[in-house]
Amino acid sequence: MAQPSPVKVLEVCRVAPPPVSPDSTTPKSLPLTFFDMLLLKIPPTQRLYFYETSHPTTTFLEVVVPKLKHSLSLTLQHYVPLAGNVTWTPDYSKLIIEYVEGDTVSFTVAESEVDFYGLSGDNFREAQNFNPFLPCLVGSETRVPALALQVTLFPNVGFSIGYAVHHGVLDGKAITMFMHSWAFICTRGEDSTLIPELTPLYDRTMIVDPSDLETTYSNFWLEKDGPSNKSLALEDMKASPDAMLGTFLLTQDNIENIKMYELTGEYGISIAAKAIGEAIEGLKDGVLEGKGDVLSRYAAIPPGRFLSISGSPRFGLYKTDFGWGRPRKVETTSIDNNGAFSLSDSRDGSSWVEIGIVLNKHESEVFVSVFSKGLHKTSTHAYGENTSNLRRCLDSEFL
């Protein structure tokens, strides 16, 4: 017998940008670049922002939700393509992000009695428990939405804002910029003017592609599942049923100790400097040299051996304040299916770094002690005996 859903959907609506003015500089369509093509079919990025408030259901539905919807519409006038879809040009020769008058962003409003504090904590939690609070990108073979949103109330405790975004449309920096813009306009009422650092730049001519990587990457995706395949459906990477998501913190002292420890040994600094030098030397032919087969090389990596990073402490996720304070927790939930771990700033605004990681249940049970012991080890050994090694390296002829 199927278990009842922990979330009650109250409304599924569509939010559109205001009518686009003829003299607007915001484009209705954009070509996909080779950067976008890299991420054309991977699963959407999903993230949850948890806000602690004491709104009852009535106040939430009559005050909070209308404010979020209205400010979202005003924000979309600066981000019109986000109300559109990834699709083909009429002749199927190019992929574009296209907004057509009448396109909208799916906006789901829901309610839940799930333990808000348990869900927004740091300890390992079942990754699948986040799914009911996240929207999906529902599209067709030839049109996939750029963005979907869901707001869920935990009565008298708080609410969450979840998004799913097409990674071929927005990278981590861009979606965070959009969320900051939405929060900024939400706190300013009818004033929808964005400050310069939140105003998006749409000039694609700045991106130079001398090797035509756009065609190389698009051909990879379109031929991956058969010749001349035109489907734009996103890949469905299911997380393990026993996947557990947890959050761990690195303080500034932890980070400094780790740096002192990635430099251990008599020739630690020399080896590090040599590696940096070789990396710089490898860029002499341009940063795009040898990138034509990057997708095929990634695809050849065995399952479970590919590791990537989602997010950055520089994004300022915890600065996303819609008028109800900073988030209690920001969770990058999509790392449960893409082999990544997440990085973000910390909730208290300090220089700490939050690390999100997904492990199987039996792995998560031992990870906490391993992580703690690792930090203790770097703290114990980063200074003391290694200090003399560092001094010798600093005085060496290599430097």
Please state the CATH superfamily assignment of the domain spanning residues 7-394 in this structure: Chloramphenicol acetyltransferase-like domain (3.30.559.10)
Residue 266 pLDDT: 64
Residue 395 pLDDT: 35
Residue 44 pLDDT: 94
From the candidates 167, 180, 336, 345, give the one annotated as an active-site residue. Answer: 167
- Amino acid (one-letter) located at 137: L
Q: What angle do CA 208, 142, 101 make, to 5 degrees?
A: 80
Residue 2 pLDDT: 59
Residue 22 pLDDT: 78
pLDDT tens, position by position, 39-65: 899 899 999 999 999 999 999 999 999
From the candidates 122, 209, 321, 381, give the one annotated as an active-site residue. Answer: 321
Q: Tell me 61's DSSP state.
A: I
**Catalytic residue flag (residue 376):** no
CA distances from 360 to 363, 364, 366 (A): 5, 6, 11
For 392, residues 6+ apart whose C-beta sits below 8 A from its C-beta are 266
| Packing angle of the helix pair 172-186, 65-76 (nearest 10 deg) | 120
Residue 125 pLDDT: 94
Please, are residues 369 and 244 in contact by the beta-carbon 8 Å criterion?
A: no
pLDDT tens, position by position, 70-95: 999 999 999 999 999 999 998 888 89
Q: Tell me 344's DSSP state.
A: E
Query: What residue ranges of the chain have pLDDT lower than 50?
Result: 382-399
**Catalytic residue flag (residue 362):** no
pTM reported for the whole predicted model: 0.88
**Cross-strand pairs, 160:** 50, 152
